[in-house]
């Protein structure tokens, strides 16, 4: 009997060791978060507090998309009004190191370069004279000089062995006459690989490993063998078919290291809409797939804007300003999605969304099971966009019905009383208030755009607008209170102004007609 028990114990031990070995094998070496600072530039102390929270969640890598918040000295026009000092960046990177977080800098090198190319100094390097988002790959000498400066200066402040070179969403790739001619002769794959190789070689010359988004490269993979073998590709997928940008398995077959990237804030999320369940499903579905595919890392992306800008021109080419399209609520309101990511990232079991929500609400707010269910229903709402006074892709749902639902959800949010973490809960309440007031305006907007609208209704509409503006004044005060430690005062003022811009424009239009 004892011999049988001994043999059984050996078998069980061997099985357990095998399971542990398999778990270790499937665990991610890089557990990362991507922070986008194109807008909503965080105060230095807020950055540190956020890094500490990420560390507590088990994150060991932070990709910083500094954009114009980096204090470039070699190209002083690029740094924006809220740019950090080099001392502040060194201090932040050092603090992250003390937490066990590797800070990887990201410098765009193909698309999303508006913040550089908007200036006359770089006009020759634009792929298009009006859409200044992309650098022209057919200017290799100018590009190499510029990108060497930017990458070198940024790399000096980041000891990480990695350097992220962007490379995503190059919508204009092959567009200009010079690039079109090269594409005609050699194809897009060659043009892209030559540009990426030039950038990767700069990174490698500095002793760093190149990292880039995989979407554009994976679409034209035929010449990627030219890139350094240590290059890392990040496959970002926010809930669509795995091969939307090409089959990621081709990158693995070429011998490249691959990381996966779901999203915490992404299109069409904006001030007025967050697709909470969509992002949780993205966690649930994509992270286990990355683990099963043997990806070495996972990187949660978080976009403060779409990365697309509307330019205001002085003449046919000179840019006065760039306005970011699609602003979202600040990162301060998304701890619940961070926690879901942490659970998915650190477990080989796929996220159970309902169980997670119930557990989170119990732990953070002291809610009962029924209160948690009420909260989850109210938080999700009807997550649809309103475009041109109609609910997008929902023929049977009217704007009025959306508004009525938002009012019901608003009542629920204001009725629920958390026992703990009241400030965190206040963000959810505020986001719901913002959406309700937005939909109230959308009802007004639909009314004035109806063919039957007459000036006889003007006074009633103006009263509705005044009600909306009065509610927004309260919203603005709460937005400032909840985010004053996170964002600069000037940015908070911009956020509050943008939220009611269309309301005020409509008010002025109607008042003008009344005179």
Report which of residues 274 and 513 the model is more confident about.
274
Confidence of residue 22 (pLDDT cuts 50, 70, 90): very low
CA distance 142 to 231: 23
Indicate whether 62 pLDDT > 80.
yes
Q: How far apart are the first and last CA of the chain?
A: 101
pLDDT digits (tens, 9 = 90+) for 316-340: 888 888 888 888 999 999 999 999 9
Per 3-state DSSP, the chain is made up of helix, strand and coil in percentages (nearest 5) of: 55, 15, 35
8 A C-beta contact, residue 74 and residue 149: yes
> How confident is the model over 380-406, as pLDDT tens digits?
999 999 999 899 999 999 999 999 999
How far, in Å, CA of 222 to CA of 193, rounded?
9
Can you list the domains of the chain with their CATH numbers? Answer: 27-345 (3.20.20.80), 353-514 (no CATH)
pLDDT at position 219, please? 94
User: Mean pLDDT across the chain, nearest whole number?
Assistant: 93
Q: What pLDDT, in 10s, does the model give residues 138-191?
A: 999 999 999 999 999 999 999 999 999 999 999 898 989 999 999 999 999 999
- Alpha carbon of residue 410 to chain centroid: 26
pLDDT digits (tens, 9 = 90+) for 340-365: 999 999 999 999 999 999 999 999 99
Q: What is the pLDDT of residue 129?
A: 86
**CB contact at 8 A, 307 and 38:** yes
For residues 256-273, b (16+ Cβ closer than 10 Å) or e, as one string?
bbbbbbbbbbbbbbbbbb
Q: Which two tokens stand for residue 24?
A: 């270790």
CA angle 319, 111, 82 (to 5 degrees): 60
Tokens (6 digits) for 256 = 């490249």
C-alpha 81/C-alpha 493 separation (Å) is 14
227: nearest Cα among 239, 218, 238, 235:
218
pLDDT of 10 over the 50 cut? no
Alpha-carbon distance of 117 to 133, in angstroms, equals 7
Please give the pLDDT value at position 6: 43
Concatenate the DSSP letters of all residues of 195-259 into one string.
HHHHHHHHHHHTT-EEEEESHHHHHSGGGGGGS-TT-EEEEE-SSS-TTBTB-THHHHHTT-EEE
The answer to whether residue 309 scores a pLDDT higher than 90 is no
Contact status, residue 239 vs residue 282, Cβ threshold 8 Å = yes
Q: Please give the full DSSP string across 339-385, using - where no structure is assigned.
A: HHHHHHHT-SSPP-HHHHHHHHHHHHH---HHHHHHHHHHHH-----
Exposed/middle/buried for residue 173 (C-beta within 10 Å: 0-12, 13-18, 19+) = buried
CA distance 17 to 57: 26
pLDDT of residue 308: 80
Comparing C-alpha atoms, which of 414, 431, 428, 433 is closest to residue 471? 433
Q: What's the rounded Cα separation, in Å, for the pair 269 and 279?
A: 10
User: Between 12 and 32, where is the model more confident?
Assistant: 32
């Amino acid at each position: 009997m004892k011999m049988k028990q001994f043999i059984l114990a050996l078998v069980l031990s061997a099985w357990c060791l095998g399971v542990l070995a398999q778990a270790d094998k499937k665990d991610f070496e890089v557990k990362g978060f991507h922070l986008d600072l194109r807008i909503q530039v965080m105060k230095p102390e807020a950055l540190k507090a956020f890094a500490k929270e990420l560390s507590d969640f088990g994150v060991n890598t932070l990709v910083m998309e500094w954009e114009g918040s980096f204090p470039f000295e070699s190209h002083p026009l690029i740094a924006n009004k809220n740019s950090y000092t080099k001392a502040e960046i060194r201090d932040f990177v050092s603090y992250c190191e003390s937490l066990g977080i590797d800070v990887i800098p990201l410098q765009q090198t193909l698309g999303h370069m508006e913040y550089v190319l908007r200036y006359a100094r770089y006009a020759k390097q634009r792929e298009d004279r009006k859409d200044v988002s992309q650098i022209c790959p057919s200017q290799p000498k100018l590009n190499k000089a510029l990108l060497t400066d930017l990458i070198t200066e940024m790399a000096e402040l980041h000891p990480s062995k990695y350097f992220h070179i962007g490379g995503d969403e190059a919508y204009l790739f092959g567009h200009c006459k010079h690039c079109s001619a090269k594409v005609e002769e050699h194809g897009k794959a060659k043009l892209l690989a030559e540009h990426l190789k030039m950038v990767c070689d700069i990174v490698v010359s500095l002793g760093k490993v190149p990292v880039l988004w995989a979407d554009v490269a994976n679409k034209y993979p035929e010449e990627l063998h030219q890139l350094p073998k240590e290059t890392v590709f990040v496959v970002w997928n926010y809930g669509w078919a795995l091969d939307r940008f090409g089959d990621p398995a081709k990158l693995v077959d070429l011998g490249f290291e691959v990381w996966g990237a779901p999203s915490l804030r992404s299109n069409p999320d904006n001030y007025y809409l967050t697709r909470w369940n969509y992002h949780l499903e993205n966690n649930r579905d994509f992270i286990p797939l990355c683990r099963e595919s043997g990806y070495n890392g996972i990187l949660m992306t978080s976009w403060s804007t779409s990365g697309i800008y509307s330019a205001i021109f002085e003449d046919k080419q000179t840019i006065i300003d760039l306005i970011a399209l699609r602003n979202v609520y600040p990162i301060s309101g998304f701890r619940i999605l961070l926690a879901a990511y942490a659970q998915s990232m650190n477990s080989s079991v796929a996220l159970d969304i309902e169980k997670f929500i119930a557990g989170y609400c119990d732990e953070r707010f002291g809610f009962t099971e029924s209160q948690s269910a009420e909260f989850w229903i109210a938080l999700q709402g009807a997550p649809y966009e309103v475009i041109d006074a109609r609910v997008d892709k929902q023929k049977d749902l009217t704007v009025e019905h959306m508004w009525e639902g938002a009012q019901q959800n608003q009542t629920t949010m204001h009725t629920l009383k958390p026992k703990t973490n009241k400030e965190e809960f206040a963000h959810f309440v505020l986001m719901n208030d913002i959406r309700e007031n937005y939909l109230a305006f959308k009802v007004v907007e639909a009314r004035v755009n109806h063919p039957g609208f007459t000036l006889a209704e003007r006074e009633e509409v103006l009263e509705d607008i005044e009600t909306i503006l009065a509610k927004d004044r309260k919203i603005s005060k709460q937005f400032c209170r909840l985010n004053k430690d996170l964002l600069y005062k000037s940015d908070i003022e911009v956020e509050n102004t943008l939220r009611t811009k269309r309301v005020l424009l409509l008010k002025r239009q109607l008042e003008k007609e009344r005179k």
